[in-house]
Amino acid sequence: MGGVRFLKGHGTGNDFVVLPEGTPELTPEFVAAVCDRRRGIGGDGVLRVARSSLPGVEWFMDYWNADGSLAEMCGNGVRVFARYLATAGLAAGTVPIETRAGVVRAVIGDETISVDMGLPKVYGDSSARVGGLELPGVAVDCGNPHLVCALPEAVALESLDLHVAPVHDEEFYPFGVNVEFVVPVADLHVSMRVHERGSGETLSCGTGAVAVAAVALARAGRDTGVVTVDVPGGRLTVTFDGAECHLAGPAVIVASGELSL
């Protein structure tokens, strides 16, 4: 796809190659080549900008993971997608965006972009194995699947080796899962690392932050509140107002160019 224009952006270090409207349909091989950090542009995923066919919704975020797999939803991806629309003069204020998991609304601010994400569904228990550790976890659906594992006090978050994918219950998650590892910082304030399905360890994961925040809120016995989630790439906040949750943090476009892949 030589000659295709691209932009590069990130939200708290979760980085994406943005392909503007008019880019032809993608293939898994092309996406993997673009996301290759040595031979391509490099990214945790690709956001292709397309038109939605839904009434009242102009944009569809065609999201792909770095390995060329598709995912239903990407919280930071929506925030970077909205930042692109704003910098290109295609949207301002509040913009509905169709994803494979449904329509979300992005609220565009000067630095922060917030996404109204509905409410995550907190399911039963599952577990993950990382290194020699077997960790109990809670399954959460944010449109895409998550497994939130609290670390025992004796294990430091930084000590986990996430170069290798955590082992999960294949029957429970036949299509793979994003696994978050969490330690408490203060009341409604946690720190996490994540291994993403299809992208490996990333510096941030928006839906992962929502999953982790939902578990933190439930553990505090509350259904409203603001949860602060520290990720290796920065800080996200997730506000639960009783009806839905709002994921907020910075999102920037950092480069543009032309692909010759």
Ligand X SMILES: N[C@@H](CCC[C@H](N)C(=O)O)C(=O)O
**Residues making up the binding site for substrate:** 14, 65, 75-76, 144, 178, 196-197, 206-207
* Catalytically annotated residue among 35, 142, 149, 205: 205
We find the least distance from the C-beta atom of residue 154 to ligand X, in angstroms, to be 29
Q: How many residues bind ligand X (CB under 6 A)?
A: 17
Among 23, 76, 126, 237, binds ligand X (CB under 6 A): 76
- 28: alpha, beta or left, given left = phi > 0 and alpha = psi -120 to 50? alpha
197 binds ligand X, rule: CB under 6 A: yes
Radius of gyration of the chain (CA): 18
The rounded distance, in Å, linking the Cα atoms of 192 and 231 is 5
250 binds ligand X, rule: CB under 6 A: no
- Whichever of 59 and 63 has its CB closer to ligand X, that residue is 63
The rounded distance, in Å, linking the Cα atoms of 82 and 89 is 11
We find the least distance from the C-beta atom of residue 79 to ligand X, in angstroms, to be 8
205 binds ligand X, rule: CB under 6 A: yes
178 binds ligand X, rule: CB under 6 A: yes
For 111-157, give the DSSP string.
SEEEEE---PEEEEEEEEEETTEEEEEEEEESSSEEEEEEPPTTS-G
Among 9, 198, 249, 250, binds ligand X (CB under 6 A): 198
The rounded distance, in Å, linking the Cα atoms of 225 and 246 is 11
48 binds ligand X, rule: CB under 6 A: no
* Catalytically annotated residue among 35, 74, 149, 245: 74
We find the least distance from the C-beta atom of residue 2 to ligand X, in angstroms, to be 27
The rounded distance, in Å, linking the Cα atoms of 246 and 4 is 33
| 3-state SS class at 87 | helix
CA 193 and chain centroid, separation = 12
Please confirm, yes or no, whether 205 is among the known catalytic residues. Answer: yes
20 binds ligand X, rule: CB under 6 A: no
71 binds ligand X, rule: CB under 6 A: yes
As a residue count, the chain comes to 261
Please confirm, yes or no, whether 142 is among the known catalytic residues. Answer: no
We find the least distance from the C-beta atom of residue 120 to ligand X, in angstroms, to be 11
206 binds ligand X, rule: CB under 6 A: yes
Q: Which residues are annotated as a binding site?
A: 14, 65, 75-76, 144, 178, 196-197, 206-207
CB 179 within 8 A of CB 168: yes
14 binds ligand X, rule: CB under 6 A: yes
3-state helix, strand, coil in the chain (%, to 5): 15, 45, 40
Among residues 106, 131, 104, which one has the least CA distance to residue 119? Answer: 104
Q: Which residues form the catalytic set?
A: 74, 205
Which residues are near ligand X by CB under 6 A? Answer: 14, 65, 71, 74-77, 144, 178, 196-199, 202, 205-207
